[in-house]
Each structure stands twice: as C-alpha cells, then as structure tokens.
Structure 1
Amino acid sequence: MNTNFSYLKFLFSLTCLLFLILFIEKVAAQVEVSLLYQNSFEKKLPSTSIPKQIKSLSELNQLTTNLLQNLHNEGYWSAKILPSKVDSLKKSNSKNKIELIIDLGKRAFWKTLSTKSLPSLIQKNVISDFERKDFLKQISKNNESVPVKTQDIEKLQQAILKYAENNGYPMARTNLDSAEIIETDKRIYFSANLTYQSGAFIQFDSLLIDGDAKIKKDFLMNYLHIQQGKIYQENSVKNAIRLLKTMPYLKVDGKPKVEFRYDRAYLRLPLKRVRSSQFDGVIGFLPKSQTANGTGGNSQNPSGSNLLLTGQVKLHLVNPFGAGKTIAFEWQRIRPESQTLFANYQHPNFLKTNLEIGGTFNFIKEDSTFSIVERRANIAYPSAKFGKIVFFTSLLTTTRTGIIRNADTANVPTADSRFFHYGISHSYTTLDDVYFPRKGFQITTEISTGNKTFTDSLSRSRISDTQTESNFSSPQLKFNTDLSLFFKVNKLSSIRLRGQVQFIESKNLFLNELLRVGGLQNLRGFDPNSFFVSRYGLLGAEWRFYFEERSYLMAFAEQAAVWAHTRRNEPYLDLPTSAGAGISFATKTGVFYFVYAMGNSKTQPISVINSKIHFGLISQF
C-alpha cells in the first residue's frame, strides 16, 4: 500500500512539472515567478531564494530541480510541487505570472545517530570534535529538534574519510546502516548507525617517473617527502605536486596519478625537463691608459701588460647533477675601476634530510671610492604548505678605497664598517609557470638585524668627538619585501602588478652602506644602481601579450619613492617614474629580450637622450 501511494505521489509531481513545461513553451515572453509553501508542520518556513523571472524552459527545469533538491537536503523528504496558478494579463503587458506551490509535508529530525562501531582513533580524532561543536553535540544530548540535513552527514563522512586517507587507509568507506524511521502526526524521526570499512593498509613504495626529466629518483623522493615504507597520506601526494611546481628545472607535463598495487602505493609523475641553466658572457680589453685617464689611479701594471680585462660573465647551473643543486657565478667589469663578483651554492636535502644549506659571496668595487664584501650562510626548509623558510647569518664589510669624485654623491662620505647580522626570509608562490607566469602570485620577504661597528679612525671622527666604543657600534635593521600578482586576462594576455619595499635603519649611514636600486630589475628607465637610498618603495604594472607560449610583448609603468641621505643623515625625497615597452621571445638557444624605457626624477629629466635600452640573450641549456 505504501509503495503504491509513493508511486501515485511521484506521478502527481511529474504531471505538475509537465504542466509547467507546456505553459512555458507557449509563452515566449518573460515569466514572473513567486513561491508559496503549504502544509508545513513547522513554525519556521525554509528560507529559499529564487529568481524573480525566468526566460526559458531550461531555467524552469533548473529552478524546480534545485528547489526540490534543496528542500530534500534540509529534511523535507516528501516535499513536492502542486499545480500552479497562472494569471493571464492584459495584452498590453507582455509578461505572465506563475506561482510555484510547494507542499512541504513533514520534516525529518534526528532520533539517534550511533557512532559506537567506529574505530577508537576515529572516535578520538574526528567524532570528538563534532560532538563539541557540530550537530552531533545536540544529538548526544537527546535533542530531538535537530533536522536531518544531507550536508551534515556528508561533512561528517568526509571528515572520517579524510582522516583515514591520511593515515594509511585511502580505500576506506562509510555508510549509514540499520536505519529506522518513526512517523508522528507532525514529524518524522530518523535513527541510524554510522559504519566504517577501512580497506587495506597502504604504504608508499616509490615514484614512477615518465618523461625526459633528468632527476635522481632518490633525491626526488626525499625532496617530495615520499619515502619508501612511509604510511600513505593523501596530503603528502598533494604537497608533492605543489613542491614540483616550484622546481624551476622540472615541469609537470600531465596529471600525476597514484597507482595502488596490493598494499603499496606508487606515485606516477609525468615530468618534462626544463632548460633552466644559463650562460651569458662577453670578454673585452681596454688600453691601460684609459684607466689612468678616467680615474686618476696608478696605471702601472705589475705584469707589464698594457691591456685591462673587461666584460661580464653569468653562469647559473641549476640541477647540474640531477640532485637539485644550484651553482651560480657572476662577474662584471664594465668600467676600469669598478667590478662585481657574485658566487652562490645551494644544496637541497642535505644528508638526506629535508633541510637545504647554502652559501653566498658578493663583492662590489665602486670606482676608486669603496668596496663591499658580503659573506652569507643559510639553512632553509622548503614546505609545500608554508613556502620556503630560510634562516641566515651574514658578515658585511665596507672599505673606503679613495676619494669620491661623483658630484651626486660628494656630500655623502664613505666609511669602513663591519656589519654582522642574522635574519629570516620567507618565499611563497602559486604561479602556474616559474619562468612565464600568467596567473598566481609570488612573495618574498626578508628581515635581518645585527650590530654594526665602524673600524677606522676617520669614520669614527665623522660620527663623534667622544672616543668611546659605544659611539662607534650601533644596531642596524634591514628589510625587503617583493610581491608580484599575475592576472590572466584571456588566452593571450596577462597583467602583472608589483609592489616592493626596502629599507635600512641605523644611527649612522654612509654612502657605501646604502641600498642601491635602478636598472632592469627595478626602475627600468634609469641606469643600474643609480640611486643610493635608505628607503625605497615601488608600485608597477605590466601588460603582457603572448604571441607564442614563451614569447610576449610588454608595456609597463613604474612609480617609486626613494629616500637618500646627505652627510648629516638628512633624508631627501625623490619620486622617480619609469615607463616603456619591450619584447621577450624564446629561441632555440635561449631567451632574447629588448626593453626600451624612459625615466623621470629630480636628477634625470625625461627625454629621448636619457632613455635606456636593455637587451640581451640569455642562453639556456
């Protein structure tokens, strides 16, 4: 009898729905929709939002389907649509009205939900949380006014399955068993047992690498935290995929898959090799006489040669041995008395741990005025969830080597100092591509502090007439953050927004201790390192149009605020602006770039003569 009655109710609801469909087909104009509930046994009616008008048959189908589904999920199991009232309006008005009448019927409430059959660990780590704050809390108090909501049951089951799949049981299942329905005059009461089947206990075995990536499997397993014999964790798989996207020498060329064989799990990775190592270099010679004429220095050459070696060399070896190591070397000598030298080494998975160690050496010689040497050691922990966290210590020494002859910096003396500092840096990225991103963001922040000491008598005399050691030693703080946001406009273009802030704080600051900005990395309309500042802020926007996968046109604008210092430590404000356009396109040997930019500041008026051109070919292998 109950089966026949349910069948008749189904036919009745279907007839009403067909009536509405036929009506909409005949009426081409928009139809105003209203909603009316009937036969509700609860004081509070369900809150449901519906569109005021519908324009097509598909919208009506979607509306009625969603409406009944939402009511069923809220515990109105017998809710159905009744025949609707249609008001035909005057011919002058092209609209018609339709009223959806919903017979709510009785609502289902929880009587009991037993979780006693679940394992003790799930009881402790999952069920206890739900009993403290979710619907189980009210059920455990024998409160019979908790409606049976589908989302509550699904949320509980998903929490159990998530716990299981992160503790070696990815095949676990949950079900409602021993269901019992008690119907009263106004309500339906529902009781059930929540059951659990764990499935096989799974452990990781190894990685299966497809593609041409040159990478050692042992290194990659340690870096991705996928060790043989480790308990299977679904979060470990997701974190491994996130970490892969941060590795510049690998590209995930497809969708990674987990394969289960008996009680073992294998992570299959389709990896493609990315040419990420770089080499760029040019070597030349200048007559030794130009050195003397240009700077007034001693032109004598101990080796007897009349030529001076100049040029620049950039060598970056990324993953040279298939174990993720990075070796970098850069040397530049454009002007006879100026040169820079940079060396860096990073070693991931040190001693098969999750830690990365490294060291950096940086040397800068500015004309015949001063030199800077920085030695830095770091230890890092890369994390898929929190990004890369680096702890470092550094010793920076500045040395005065001559008299300043640059008019822009003549009022700021140099000094001999030693700055020993330690700090922390953090980087996090969600970019879809390391080299040619179109969406996502990347942020890097670094802060360090330490004690700076002036080491020579001339520097000390400029600071204080009181010859006490406390006057020549003071704390110093450095901060730097760089944020880039990429927005994909369409398939061919994207927008990059950039914000950067740097500052250095100390009681006494000299020229060779200040920050240096300008050039291709920031403020492209100015010469490299043309600003000596203690504080610096930049906002920039760049539009990119991709005419190939790795080639694009660009147009950009940058606005900065810089604070430089005089000899008396008095800051002055400048607001340099930079704008321009360029192109970057990939070739068989590397990436060629050409950028034309113009800048305007207090020391550089905007003009074609002062415009800057940056170009080069970065050879990749």
Structure 2
Amino acid sequence: MSLATPVQALAQYELTVAGNKLPPVKYKTILADSGLVVKEINKLLFQLRSDGYLAVSADSVIFNQHKVRAFIVTGERFEWASLSRGNVDERVWNETGRSEKRWVNTRITPENYAGIFKSLLAWYENHGYPFAELKLINRKWEGNTLSGQMHVEKNELITIDSVIVRGNAKLSRVYLQNYINVKNGDVYNESVIRSISTRLKELPMVNETAPFVVSFEGGKAVVILSLANRKASQADGIIGLLPDDNKKGKIKLSGDLRLKLISAFGRGEQFEVNWKQPVANTQDLRARINYPFLFSTPFGVEGGLAIYKRDTSYIDVNLSGAVQYLLRGNSYLKLFVTNKKSSLLSTSSLRNATVLPPINDMVNTTYGLNLRREKTDYRLNPTTGYIVDVTAGAGRKKILKNSTLNQELYNNLKLNSESYQAELVADLFFPVGNRFVLNTGVNAAWLNSKNIFQNEQYRIGGLKTLRGFDEESIYATQYYIGKAEFRYILDRNSFLQIFYNQAYYASETISGNIYDKPLGFGAGITFETKLGIFSLNYAVGKQFNNPIQFRSAKIHFGIVNYF
C-alpha cells in the first residue's frame, strides 16, 4: 500500500526591473518559467530601442530562487539633429513622405532609420533604377544627436526589352504583356515585376510551371516566363427534378445549359451562351461576348443579348453594351447600357378586360455601373477569399399601349417614368480547421419605378438563388437572400456541403403587394469525375405559413466540363 503525494503547484517567477534613468516601461511581473522571463526582458530591450535608446542593454539578471531582478542600462536617447536630402531629387524626397523639418529633434530608432533607406530605394526601383545605392554621408555626432545627408547612386536606367514565353501557353504576346502590365519600352518597375506570379495565378487559362526570370544586359531587362496551357473553357448543365403540383405523383424537369469559351484565340476574349428552361414552355437564352485590352489599353468592350419567352404570355428582348476598366485578376469596373423590350404574345383573351392585366408591353433603357472584386485562393473551390459584385442603374421606362386592350384602361396611368435598380452578390470564404470551409453570402436586388408590372420584376428561386424552390418561380421587386454553407473539402475539386438560405422579398405591382420570408435548406455533394465536376443537391423550401414538406423537396444535379 502506498500514499500519493499532493501535486505541487507550478513554480512562478516574479520579475523586477531597475536601472538608472530608466523611463516608464510596461512589462509582465509574473511569469510561468525562466524561459518566459528571458523573453520578457528581450521584449523590454526591443521596446526601449524603438524609443531611441539604441545602446540599451541588460547589465545583469539575477535569479534568487523564484525572484528575478534585471538591471537595465539605457544609455543616451539618440535623436536626429538634422537630415538633409543631399543629391536625392526633391520630387523623390517629397513623394516618399520625407521632410527635412520632420527630422529635427526626432528620436532615432532602428525602424525609422531603416525606413528612410527602404522607402527611397523602393522609389528608385519602381522608376527604372533597380540597382540604385543609398548611403548616409557627412555624418556628425554631437553628444546624443546625429546629422547627415542622404546620397544616392542611381546607376544605369533600365527599360523593358521584351517578354519571352517558354511552354505551350496559347496566349498572344499583346494580351499577356497588357495583363501583367509589362510592355516593351516601359521603364523598369520592381513592384510590377514582383507581382507577375500573383497576376499569372489569377489567369484561368495558364499555369506558371517555373518561377519567372529577369535578365539584365546593356540597360535592358528581359522577362522570361514559363507557362503551360490550362483548361479554362467550360460546358456545363443542370437538370432539376421537381414534384409537379398539378399532377400528383408526377415529376417535371427544368434545365440549364451553358457554354463558355475563354481565350479561344489567345487574346483573353470570352464568349458565353446560356440556355435555360426554368419551367415548362418557358425558354431563356442569353449570349455575351467580351474583348479585353482594346488597343492595348486597360479598357475592354462587352455586348450581350438575352431573350426570355414566358409560355404564351410575353417575350423579353434585352440588348446590352458595356465598356470595362480592367482591374487585377477577374476584377473590373463596368459602365453599361441596356435596352429591354417586353411584348405580350397572346392577347385575344384580353379584348374585354376591364382592368389592366398584370403584364404589359414596355420599353426600359437603363444606364449604370457595375463593380466586381474577386480574390480567392482557388476559383473552382475556394477555401479563403471573397467575391463581390455590385450594380447600380437608372433610366427611363415607357409603357406601350397594347392595341388589343381598351385604351381607356391607360387613362390614369403614367406611361413614362424613371426607373432605378440596385443589385448585390457577395460571397465570403473562411477556412475552419484543415478541411472545413464556411461560405457565407448575400444576394439582394431592388427595383423602383411607377406602375410596375409582373414582367419587369426579378425572378428568383432555384439552385443559383434560393434553393428548395422551383426555378424562377418567385417574382419580386426587391429581395434579400442570406446564405450560410458549411463545406467539408474532400479534395481540390470535391466537397460535401450543408446549407441554409433565409430570404425576404416584396412584390409591389399594379396588381397588389405580396411579402414573404421564405427559407430553404439541404445538403449536397460535388466531386470530380473523368467527364467533369459533378454536383448533386437536395433542398427543401418553406414559404408563407406553409409547413415544411419533404415530399416537395427539389433535387438538382449538374456537371461542369473544362476544356
């Protein structure tokens, strides 16, 4: 039989700091072990050096059991008497935030001393002088003050001779040099050169197979890139299996097919065509073409056509054009104009109408701005980063009188009015541990105009907006959809997910007002196969005061193929 001894409490050290002319300092007095005591003393010395006491040292450190006494010798606090720019150009001196008055009676610290050289050298490196040398001359110590002059040797001016590409990348030289912002004849810019690899990672159609090399000779710089072609164009399709509310026990289909060609001719151009059948007898066709770096400028142009036919009710034809200012990666600022014409198709049943129908002929012209910012670690399956897309527009709406209707129905209607709209789509990605990712986001839109008809509203519902609902089954003049999605990463292009969507929408039209807070939740899987990236989602929705019905769940599956 043995008796257990009580466990002794962990020893703690009590630190006391003293010194002649020691300024007020903050430090921890109680520390768990001797190693932390040494770290705390070193931290204190760094703090004092940063305050101008360049010669500070720990004269002695005495351990007496669990009490520690450190004696600090600070020495003099060093200051600048004066610092002049010497032969440094006045423009450079001012642009780097230097001022001779700033350095009079200012304490000298390792940080500000190094900062002078760092900022000045960076300026010269970014303006054609990557081999510039900088030093402090005519140094003079008087007691604890220092005076001196800056002196720069710029050496040879360097310009860009060319960019050489090694590998099978199918990119035109003009597009590539505009994209990385390194053009023949440009003055050498170190910050631009350093960003080349980051810029190349943002391109979907190439991989950098080896670090780039810069070769200097005779005042010229040659940038050598090693690039391999990467599959970026895509063809994808989504099929929705939805319970048919009108036929018990039956299933109805919805579809969404898209073809997107990226840089087929090596100039970064994009062509996209998208066909959808959100509900039976309804067709939605969209086409878009984009051409970047027009005439070797950061501007690009875009044109689009969208045709939407809602069974036999109406058809929308939307023409759009835009000028883009290209930012980093897939980010841009866009100035656009759209012209949307909506026309009724079947009007025979409206001949004897005594009130205006919920849909009507109209023309709407909108001018606006669109800003997109995108920064993620991997575009196909991000684990960190963000995507933000903001649109704002204003224009004029003209309601057209339909000859089939009784013209008196339009008497009290304002046919011409202003129209305003705003849209926001944002996604944030946060890593949670090694394999988990939290994706939160918001999708919102707002439309304001006089006498709004059903056929000018937003259409939401389905896999890309509000999961758990039929595709584009909800009409809204404004909506706000919040998203929370938790992913378990299986591999680079595969993950499991559970998700929840909470929405609010309003439909305020000439036919009346509808308000609701629908929600949707479910789970899904996305995984990579030889044919492409396959996705399967199961979602349940709830709206108004109806109970959740799992027999009305929606199943969406699709595949994306890159080529």
Alignment TM-score, normalising by the size of structure 2: 0.87
State how far apart, in whole Å, the 2-side matches of 1:197 and 1:608 are.
76
Verify the 8 A CA contact 2:174 2:296 in the aligned structure 1.
Answer: no
Q: One-letter code of the match for 1:617?
A: I
How far the C-alpha of 1:247 sits from its partner, in A, is 2.8
* Aligned with residue 424 of structure 1, among 369, 378, 383: 369
Residue by residue over 1:486-520, the C-alpha shift from the partner in whole angstroms, topping out at 9 and shown as x without a partner, is: 11123322111101210111011111000011111
State how far apart, in whole Å, the 1-side matches of 2:347 and 2:13 are.
86
Q: Which residue of 2 aligns with 1:130?
A: 98
How far the C-alpha of 1:543 sits from its partner, in A, is 1.2
How far the C-alpha of 1:70 sits from its partner, in A, is 3.5
Task: Tell me: CA distance 1:254–1:560, structure 2 relative to 1, closer, same or farther (3 Å).
Answer: farther
Secondary structure of the equivalent of 2:264?
coil
Task: Tell me: CA distance 1:191–1:347, structure 2 relative to 1, closer, same or farther (3 Å).
Answer: same
Residue by residue over 1:436-476, the C-alpha shift from the partner in whole angstroms, topping out at 9 and shown as x without a partner, is: 11101110101111100011247895875258xxx210000
Q: Which residue of 2 aligns with 1:339?
A: 283
Verify the 8 A CA contact 1:598 1:611 in the aligned structure 2.
Answer: yes
Q: One-letter code of the match for 1:586?
A: E
Verify the 8 A CA contact 1:316 1:327 in the aligned structure 2.
Answer: yes
How far the C-alpha of 1:249 sits from its partner, in A, is 2.4
How far the C-alpha of 1:607 sits from its partner, in A, is 1.3
How far the C-alpha of 1:316 sits from its partner, in A, is 1.3
Task: Between the two structures, name the one with larger relative contact order (CA 8 Å, sep ≥ 6).
Answer: 2
State how far apart, in whole Å, the 2-side matches of 1:462 and 1:485 are.
52
Verify the 8 A CA contact 2:292 2:298 in the aligned structure 1.
Answer: yes
Q: Which residue of 1 aligns with 2:390?
A: 445
How far the C-alpha of 1:435 sits from its partner, in A, is 1.6
Q: Which residue of 1 aligns with 2:493?
A: 550
RMSD: 3.0
How far the C-alpha of 1:124 sits from its partner, in A, is 4.6
Structure with the largest fraction of strand? 2
5+ long unaligned stretches in structure 1: 1-26, 89-95, 284-293, 295-309
State how far apart, in whole Å, the 2-side matches of 1:342 and 1:280 are.
15
How far the C-alpha of 1:250 sits from its partner, in A, is 3.2
Verify the 8 A CA contact 1:171 1:200 in the aligned structure 2.
Answer: yes
Residue by residue over 1:339-382, the C-alpha shift from the partner in whole angstroms, topping out at 9 and shown as x without a partner, is: 12111111112233221111110001111111111000111011
Q: Which residue of 2 aligns with 1:36?
A: 18
Verify the 8 A CA contact 1:369 1:404 in the aligned structure 2.
Answer: no
Q: Which residue of 2 aligns with 1:99?
A: 69
Q: Which residue of 2 aligns with 1:531?
A: 474
Secondary structure of the equivalent of 2:495?
strand
Task: Tell me: CA distance 1:551–1:271, structure 2 relative to 1, closer, same or farther (3 Å).
Answer: farther
Secondary structure of the equivalent of 2:377?
coil
Q: Which residue of 2 aligns with 1:465?
A: 411
Verify the 8 A CA contact 1:242 1:384 in the aligned structure 2.
Answer: no
State how far apart, in whole Å, the 2-side matches of 1:268 and 1:616 are.
40
**2:175 aligned with 1:175:** no
Question: Where does 1:458-537 land on structure 2 (aligned, <5 Å)?
Answer: 464-466=410-412, 471-537=414-480
Q: Which residue of 2 aligns with 1:299?
A: none
5+ long unaligned stretches in structure 2: 1-8, 240-246, 248-253, 350-354
Secondary structure of the equivalent of 1:130?
coil
Secondary structure of the equivalent of 1:421?
strand
* Aligned with residue 64 of structure 1, among 41, 49, 58: 41
Residue by residue over 1:179-225, the C-alpha shift from the partner in whole angstroms, topping out at 9 and shown as x without a partner, is: 22222xxxx12222222121321112333435543222222112222
Verify the 8 A CA contact 2:468 2:540 in the aligned structure 1.
Answer: yes
Q: Which residue of 1 aligns with 2:154?
A: 198
Question: Where does 1:75-474 land on structure 2 (aligned, <5 Å)?
Answer: 75-84=52-61, 86=63, 88=65, 96-126=66-96, 129-131=97-99, 136-139=100-103, 143=104, 145-183=105-143, 188-238=144-194, 240-252=196-208, 255-256=211-212, 258-280=214-236, 313-333=257-277, 337-384=281-328, 387-402=331-346, 413-457=358-402, 464-466=410-412, 471-474=414-417
How far the C-alpha of 1:240 sits from its partner, in A, is 4.7
Task: Tell me: CA distance 1:85–1:331, structure 2 relative to 1, closer, same or farther (3 Å).
Answer: closer
State how far apart, in whole Å, the 2-side matches of 1:124 and 1:146 are.
18
Task: Tell me: CA distance 1:579–1:377, structure 2 relative to 1, closer, same or farther (3 Å).
Answer: same
Percent of residue pairs bearing the same amino acid type: 24
Secondary structure of the equivalent of 1:151?
helix
Q: Which residue of 1 aligns with 2:538?
A: 596
State how far apart, in whole Å, the 2-side matches of 1:278 and 1:63 are.
57
Residue by residue over 1:235-284, the C-alpha shift from the partner in whole angstroms, topping out at 9 and shown as x without a partner, is: 3235555543443323455655544344233334454433221224699x
How far the C-alpha of 1:125 sits from its partner, in A, is 3.1
State how far apart, in whole Å, the 2-side matches of 1:498 and 1:152 are.
42
State how far apart, in whole Å, the 1-side matches of 2:346 and 2:194 are.
57
How far the C-alpha of 1:156 sits from its partner, in A, is 2.1
State how far apart, in whole Å, the 2-side matches of 1:114 and 1:552 are.
60
Q: Which residue of 2 aligns with 1:559?
A: 502
State how far apart, in whole Å, the 2-side matches of 1:222 and 1:84 are.
61
Q: Count residues with an aligned counterpart.
A: 537
Residue by residue over 1:55-87, the C-alpha shift from the partner in whole angstroms, topping out at 9 and shown as x without a partner, is: 345434433333334423432233222334555
Verify the 8 A CA contact 2:255 2:276 in the aligned structure 1.
Answer: yes
State how far apart, in whole Å, the 2-side matches of 1:386 and 1:280 are.
20
Alignment TM-score, normalising by the size of structure 1: 0.80
Task: Tell me: CA distance 1:497–1:256, structure 2 relative to 1, closer, same or farther (3 Å).
Answer: farther
| Structure showing greater Rg | 1
After alignment, is 47-56 or 570-579 more displaced? Answer: 47-56
Verify the 8 A CA contact 1:204 1:227 in the aligned structure 2.
Answer: yes
Q: Which residue of 1 aligns with 2:250?
A: none
Structure with the largest fraction of helix? 1
